[in-house]
Chains A and B, each alone.
Chain A
Amino acid sequence: MTLTPVITEHWDSPDLYTLEGYRKFGGYGALVSALKQDPDSIIQVVKDSGLRGRGGAGFPTGMKWGFVPQNDGKPHYLVVNADESEPGACKDIPIMMANPHALVEGVIIASYAIRASHAFIYIRGEVPNAVRKVANAVEQARAAGFVGNNILGTDFSLDIVVHAGAGAYICGEETALLDSLEGYRGQPRLKPPFPAVAGLYASPTVINNVETIANIPYIIERGAAWLRQFGTEKSPGFKVFAVSGHVNRPGIFEAPLGITMRELLDYAGGMRDGRKLKFWIPGGSSVPMLVEEHLDLPLTYEDMAGAGTMLGTGTPMVFDETVSVVKAVTRWLEFYKHESCGKCTPCREGTYWITGMLERFEHGHGHEADVEKIAHVCTQIAGRSFCALGDAAATPYPAALKYFRDEFLAATHTSADEQFDPIASYLFAGATR
């Protein structure tokens, strides 16, 4: 399958991040045409395109927009979730760095469609470069009359606020993001009410991922049928895949959904130094890992679900034979333990407990009984927690156990570093002990 650069098409153009650079390639043309259409017809185009959310859950975008009640007398809000914090995920930040105007143009069109006059872009606070790029893009768009009052002479007005988070993974959970945006401590909200009914400031709110929104100008410009040329019936379109880990040429590859991991590995120059693949994760640490036998599965929402995992953020992490799975899972659990917001018991206490047990395995004194105990505790977290963070935390271990049980058993007497020399797995050159 060939690559289909769309959002990434002109990333080699050094001034793409500027308004002029973006307009050179027809930027904001979609906005001009969108504003001549009825907002409902924009929603219809997005519905027809079958675009699914690129943040991980894959919810149909047009349907989400359609949930916003119209003529309800309340303000509507568009919130862009740009709090990309998932271990392994690195696609929204590059989009914001390289092509911020695609995001801004998408925000304006989406706001027009859902009748929002305020949009917020909530960007992970640890990436000030991205915050600056997007903030500048918004200011340039404002200066060009694409943001502000009576955009392009219509009666549509929009203000865009670029907001930097303060470094909490939980704020990528959409309702926690809303709390954070409102100035509260970021913790997930009880649903219902759902954000489409009572989200930001208790008003109807659409929350979309950066990549989802960056798709919008191209769909409006080229049509729903154009998008449907790519991908599958259930997973139409293309995806910005970010391949990282033990490959020779890690990077971003925009390809139709349905491309296989084997193909992506080829684009990424194959396994590092010709080593053997051990396991890979299709989209962030929150989705179960896969192994060699899954390399020829199409990367679609449905095929990944069929293999017991999820497409997630579509940012595959590749691990070769030098990696200790015990160590990798322990690192992930330490991350979830650190990022658990503390609101609900299973996630708060469960991650604390599991991490403690896993750290014993990592150091070679795991308890044999804990191999099953951790798996059981994971079942007590998954589906019992308040939000998806708990489910995510309960994900890495069961899959790792499925494929690498022996490694955990060995870790009852031999530490991860003794099983696998950590130096060999390091990606930077010249690593020595």
Chain B
Amino acid sequence: MTMTSNAGSDLAAVEMVSVTVDGVIIEVPKGTLAIRAAELLGVEIPRFCDHPLLDPVAACRACLIEVEGIPKPQPACAQVVSDGMQIRTQMSSPVAREAQEGVLEFLLLNHPLDCPVCDKGGECPLQNQAMSVGRPESRFDGEKRVFDKPINVSAEILLDRERCVSCARCTRFADQIAGDPMLELLERGAKQQVGTAADQPFDSYFSGNTVQICPVGALTSAAYRFRARPFDLVSVPTTCEHCASGCSLRTDYRRGTVTRRLAWDDPEVNEEWNCDKGRFAFPYLQEGRITSPMIREDGELRPASWPEALDAAARGLAAAGSSTGVLVGGRSTVEDAYAYARFARVALGSDNIDFRVRESSSEEAAFLMSVVAGTSVTTTYESLEQAPIVMTVALEPEDESPIVFLRLRKAARSGRTRIVNVGAVATKGLAKVRGELLAALPGGEARVLQELPADLKSALHQPGAVILVGERIAAVVGGPSAVAALAAETGASLAWVPRRAGERGALDAGALAGLLPGGRQLLDPTARTEVAAAWGIDPDGLPADIGLAGEQLLMAAREGRLAALITGGVELADYPDHELAEAAIVGAGFVVALENHHSAITERADVVFPVAVVTEKSGTFLDWEGRPRPFVQVFRDSLAQSDAMVLGMIATTMERRLGVHDVAGIRRELGVLGPWGGQRSLSPADAAQSAPVTSTPVDGALLRLVAWRALIDSGVMQEGEPFLAATARPVVAAMSARTAASLGHPAAVLVAGPKGSVELPVQVGEVIDGAVIMPLNSPGCSIYRDLGARIGDAVTVRAAESREGGRS
């Protein structure tokens, strides 16, 4: 279990007390609980309600111990030790042993004996502790209490009330950690049970953690229930590929199939938690995979052998040479992104490369190059917890980096940290971190940052102040520059929190035009020399000019100015202008796609290579902190090839030496190169663009569109998990009461953009006037596809006609 972190505090300043546990004297920090002091000596006191990351509740009474001077046995989980205290656990005290035995006997009274079919059987604290400290036989000969079971507390989480031991871990997790107190204990006595309000399911983004911390099989997930026995599973520690939070996970598989994923223990990152997407969204790893290389012949893709496909790809790319664009998806590992970066520069001689399959700008690129790429890990989860103030800009942590959200909530609960969000809406997520809203219309963030209230500015001057900026800042003209300037002026530490797991790694690997690995800039002579040396080429072999990126790259392809494209893990619909992206694929004469699933790209690509998913390769993600999160191959006998291996083979076929033969080699090379220590000449302000063109209203009101991707939405990596999908947040259009009033208080609105419209129910909330908040890519509301609008655009909003009578 997690030891609560003391990092950041001066160890010498910690006051120690001396306690005696079972006759052994031990020094522990003041405030230590007896149960932890005993753990330090290797004495495991039984426990159910105790959890090191939850507030003590002392409800289950399994941990009763004797404390000298106190007549009654005391719960070790709530007993703070004091200097000179004498503690006797079950190891030395008959009273403690009998009390613990009694509690275990009580707990088993009403517990069904269905261990042979229970998901928890084999990894069950109740089983284990009944064996270690329980009585050999129960003296209970009455009737057990029965409940209907299971019941859904959400679509994903099932509750078996008979198995529940009322430890309240789940309810306390929901309340304290997630801030979603929809789970509560109901009724009294032996009828006490966990439950939800009738109309309020436990649709927490973090609900799966309750299954994991449940000390019995009372909470199970619809995805895993009755699927496997824990002792039949092989467990591998892995890293979550879903976002840049960088969670440590445990992946369990049986017979080549992933059966479940659990949050794994990493006190510095995710503690013991993860989000439901990371836990449940894994069917994509196996379902609908591309299994063989394919070549387009007479307009149709057909399976091909590896040599044939490699040959076709090599010929096409060699012909295009430096007139090739490279689109790297945001889910690449550092190693794969590095391979793309090097392949572009060495095998193709091209600097046309970008990893940003999303809203992007050249100002953002300059921002990333000047203050993010290749920087060391300085702003961490721990920094958030210690910070006097954290300001978030263009970031909704609960949706876009859920573990950042959990840590902000922890910080806020400690009372140390003030949290301020610069944005258009005070979300529930902001309320859960007790945050304040500094209201800004989309596009207006830069101005707000430049004209911060004096108290806020001085708060940011405090040591330890943090500014977190999300990737959506790319949609704000002047935004990246304003954030960088504010951090520079106040001395607050600045961290960029992208959404996807691979973005920070791709940035540091140099998968962006103008950028070489480690934050080196392409045109810097020293940087060129260093990189060329590492790559074993002449510095002049590197592209001489900064290539195309972002929409310039796509436009060039569309207009036929690029002869070829190579893409890796790119979903065209993720580009704000996906028509442009599709046209780019069509316009580029030759397209090579490295994909694990069919997509809009493979529909048009000339050569398709199947590549490994995260369970089939080892690799590294850099989380938002820049912290390497390496992971190993789960399925070690998988024949799937990583992107880097495929690129290496293409290069070899092109008779170019790429030198990316294995993950260890790439890591070594990146280690030798290291981060850039020289000057960073670019300033994001240099690259600030003019304001984007906005659409013209037809009728109704023009509102500024604010949108981000909900954690659980239509993302392709969530496919195949209907229970998870059913816990998504309602898809609504949120606006202020005044805005709603100006539209005539509609129950639903029709939001129209240049390409179409969507109809959504209205939710009135604390939203800046003149803005409408919608999910970016959720069922029934895909901003780019349905509206053809972008974040910050003005869209037309008017009351929807009544839906009564089944009309739509």
Kindly list chain B residues whose C-beta atoms are within 8 Å of the C-beta of A367: 141
Q: Which residue of A lies closest to B139 (CB)?
A: A373
Is A29 close to B, CB under 8 A? no
Q: Which chain B residues in 51-65 approach chain A with CB under 8 Å? A: 56-62, 64
CB-contact partner of A349 in B99, B107, B141, B188, under 8 A? B107
Is B267 close to A, CB under 8 A? no
State in angstroms the CA–CA spacing of A352 and B107 once bound together: 11
Kindly list chain B residues whose C-beta atoms are within 8 Å of the C-beta of A27: none
16 contacts between A and B (CB under 8 A): A170-B188, A190-B58, A337-B190, A339-B188, A340-B190, A341-B188, A344-B61, A345-B165, A348-B189, A351-B189, A353-B140, A353-B142, A373-B139, A380-B105, A383-B71, A384-B99
Given contacts A353-B106, A353-B140, 10 further A-B contacts (CB under 8 A): A337-B190, A342-B188, A342-B189, A342-B190, A342-B191, A343-B59, A345-B59, A348-B192, A352-B190, A385-B61
Is there an interface contact between A345 and B189, defined as CB atoms closer than 8 Å? Answer: no
Would you give the 0/1 interface string for A359-386, flagging 1 where the beta carbon is closer than 8 Å to chain B? 0000000010000010001001001111
State in angstroms the CA–CA spacing of A218 and B62 once bound together: 48
Kindly list chain B residues whose C-beta atoms are within 8 Å of the C-beta of A343: 59, 166, 192
Kindly list chain B residues whose C-beta atoms are within 8 Å of the C-beta of A339: 188-189
State the 6 A-B residue pairs at the shortest beta-carbon distance, nearest first: A342-B192, A380-B102, A349-B106, A356-B142, A340-B189, A352-B190
State in angstroms the CA–CA spacing of A114 and B73 once bound together: 34
Q: Which residue of A lies closest to B105 (CB)?
A: A380
Chain B min CB distance to A161 (Å): 25
Kindly list chain B residues whose C-beta atoms are within 8 Å of the C-beta of A357: 142
Would you give the 0/1 interface string for A165-204, flagging 1 where the beta carbon is closer than 8 Å to chain B? 0001010000000000000010000100000000000000
Chain B min CB distance to A347 (Å): 8
Is A346 close to B, CB under 8 A? yes
Q: Which residue of A lies closest to B107 (CB)?
A: A345
Kindly list chain A residues whose C-beta atoms are within 8 Å of the C-beta of B98: 380
Is A338 close to B, CB under 8 A? yes
Is there an interface contact between A185 and B189, defined as CB atoms closer than 8 Å? Answer: no
State in angstroms the CA–CA spacing of A349 and B144 once bound together: 11
Is there an interface contact between A384 and B59, defined as CB atoms closer than 8 Å? Answer: no
Is there an interface contact between B99 and A345, defined as CB atoms closer than 8 Å? Answer: no
Is A350 close to B, CB under 8 A? yes
State in angstroms the CA–CA spacing of A377 and B145 once bound together: 19
Q: Which chain A residues in 316-347 approach chain B with CB under 8 Å? A: 337-346
CB-contact partner of B64 in A341, A377, A384, under 8 A? A384
Is B636 close to A, CB under 8 A? no
Is B637 close to A, CB under 8 A? no
State in angstroms the CA–CA spacing of A350 and B102 once bound together: 10
Is there an interface contact between A338 and B106, defined as CB atoms closer than 8 Å? Answer: no
Kindly list chain A residues whose C-beta atoms are within 8 Å of the C-beta of B188: 168, 170, 338-342
Is there an interface contact between A185 and B185, defined as CB atoms closer than 8 Å? Answer: yes
Is B110 close to A, CB under 8 A? yes
Is there an interface contact between A380 and B189, defined as CB atoms closer than 8 Å? Answer: no
Q: Which chain B residues in 87-119 approach chain A with CB under 8 Å? A: 98-99, 102-103, 105-107, 109-110
Pick the most buried of A349, A351, A357, A380: most chain B CB atoms within 10 A of its CB.
A349
Q: Which residue of A lies closest to B167 (CB)?
A: A345
Chain A min CB distance to B463 (Å): 28
Kindly list chain A residues whose C-beta atoms are within 8 Å of the C-beta of B190: 337, 340, 342, 348-349, 351-352
Is there an interface contact between B60 and A344, defined as CB atoms closer than 8 Å? Answer: yes
Is B745 close to A, CB under 8 A? no
Kindly list chain A residues whose C-beta atoms are within 8 Å of the C-beta of B699: none
Is there an interface contact between A346 and B57, defined as CB atoms closer than 8 Å? Answer: no
Is there an interface contact between B72 and A356, defined as CB atoms closer than 8 Å? Answer: no
Kindly list chain A residues whose C-beta atoms are within 8 Å of the C-beta of B58: 190, 344, 386
CB-contact partner of A345 in B73, B106, B145, under 8 A? B106
Kindly list chain B residues whose C-beta atoms are within 8 Å of the C-beta of A344: 58-61
Kindly list chain B residues whose C-beta atoms are within 8 Å of the C-beta of A353: 106, 109, 140, 142
Is there an interface contact between B110 and A352, defined as CB atoms closer than 8 Å? Answer: yes
Would you give the 0/1 interface string for B129-154, flagging 1 where the beta carbon is closer than 8 Å to chain A? 00000000001111101000000000
Kindly list chain A residues whose C-beta atoms are within 8 Å of the C-beta of B106: 345-346, 348-350, 353, 380
Kindly list chain A residues whose C-beta atoms are within 8 Å of the C-beta of B60: 344-345
Q: Which residue of A lies closest to B189 (CB)?
A: A340
Kindly list chain A residues whose C-beta atoms are within 8 Å of the C-beta of B62: 345
Would you give the 0/1 interface string for B46-90, flagging 1 where the beta carbon is closer than 8 Å to chain A? 000000000011111110100000011100001000000000000
Is B311 close to A, CB under 8 A? no
Kindly list chain B residues whose C-beta atoms are within 8 Å of the C-beta of A384: 61, 64, 72-73, 99, 102-103
State in angstroms the CA–CA spacing of A190 and B79 once bound together: 11
Is B719 close to A, CB under 8 A? no
Is B187 close to A, CB under 8 A? yes
Kindly list chain B residues whose C-beta atoms are within 8 Å of the C-beta of A373: 139
Is there an interface contact between B184 and A383, defined as CB atoms closer than 8 Å? Answer: no
CB-contact partner of B166 in A338, A345, A383, A385, under 8 A? A345
Q: Which residue of B lies closest to A192 (CB)?
A: B80
Kindly list chain B residues whose C-beta atoms are within 8 Å of the C-beta of A380: 98-99, 102-103, 105-106
State in angstroms the CA–CA spacing of A383 and B188 once bound together: 20
Chain B min CB distance to A389 (Å): 10
Kindly list chain A residues whose C-beta atoms are within 8 Å of the C-beta of B102: 346, 377, 380, 384
Chain A min CB distance to B3 (Å): 22
Chain A min CB distance to B111 (Å): 10
Pick the most buried of A339, A343, A386: most chain B CB atoms within 10 A of its CB.
A343
Would you give the 0/1 interface string for B26-48, flagging 1 where the beta carbon is closer than 8 Å to chain A? 00000000000000000000000
Chain A min CB distance to B583 (Å): 59
Q: Which residue of A lies closest to B78 (CB)?
A: A190
If A190-B78, A346-B102 touch, whether A383 touches B73 (CB-CB below 8 Å) is yes
State in angstroms the CA–CA spacing of A308 and B166 once bound together: 34
Q: Which residue of B lies closest to A337 (CB)?
A: B189
Chain A min CB distance to B224 (Å): 28
Q: Which residue of A lies closest to B58 (CB)?
A: A190
Kindly list chain B residues whose C-beta atoms are within 8 Å of the C-beta of A185: 184-185
Kindly list chain A residues whose C-beta atoms are within 8 Å of the C-beta of B191: 342
Kindly list chain B residues whose C-beta atoms are within 8 Å of the C-beta of A168: 188
If A341-B188, A373-B139, A384-B72 touch, whether A352 touches B61 (CB-CB below 8 Å) is no
CB-contact partner of B72 in A170, A342, A377, A383, under 8 A? A383
Kindly list chain B residues whose C-beta atoms are within 8 Å of the C-beta of A351: 189-190
Q: Which residue of A lies closest to B64 (CB)?
A: A384
CB-contact partner of B61 in A338, A341, A345, under 8 A? A345
Kindly list chain A residues whose C-beta atoms are within 8 Å of the C-beta of B142: 353, 356-357
Chain B min CB distance to A25 (Å): 43
Kindly list chain B residues whose C-beta atoms are within 8 Å of the C-beta of A377: 102
Chain B min CB distance to A361 (Å): 13
Would you give the 0/1 interface string for A224-244, flagging 1 where the beta carbon is closer than 8 Å to chain B? 000000000000000000000
State in angstroms the CA–CA spacing of A168 and B187 once bound together: 11
Q: Which chain A residues in 42-99 approach chain B with CB under 8 Å? A: none
Q: Which chain B residues in 307-344 approach chain A with CB under 8 Å? A: none
Is there an interface contact between B73 and A349, defined as CB atoms closer than 8 Å? Answer: no
Would you give the 0/1 interface string for B255-291, flagging 1 where the beta carbon is closer than 8 Å to chain A? 0000000000000000000000000000000000000
Is there an interface contact between B189 and A352, defined as CB atoms closer than 8 Å? Answer: yes
Kindly list chain B residues whose C-beta atoms are within 8 Å of the C-beta of A340: 188-190
State in angstroms the CA–CA spacing of A338 and B188 once bound together: 7
State in angstroms the CA–CA spacing of A168 and B143 once bound together: 26
Kindly list chain A residues whose C-beta atoms are within 8 Å of the C-beta of B103: 345-346, 380, 384
If A349-B107, A384-B72, A384-B99 touch, whether A356 touches B143 (CB-CB below 8 Å) is yes
Q: Which residue of B lies closest to A186 (CB)?
A: B188
State in angstroms the CA–CA spacing of A342 and B189 once bound together: 4
Pick the most buried of A339, A340, A380, A384: most chain B CB atoms within 10 A of its CB.
A384
Is there an interface contact between A386 and B189, defined as CB atoms closer than 8 Å? Answer: no
State in angstroms the CA–CA spacing of A352 and B192 once bound together: 12
Chain B min CB distance to A418 (Å): 23
State in angstroms the CA–CA spacing of A380 and B56 once bound together: 22
State in angstroms the CA–CA spacing of A350 and B110 once bound together: 11
Q: Which chain A residues in 91-147 approach chain B with CB under 8 Å? A: none
Chain A min CB distance to B787 (Å): 43
State in angstroms the CA–CA spacing of A349 and B138 once bound together: 13
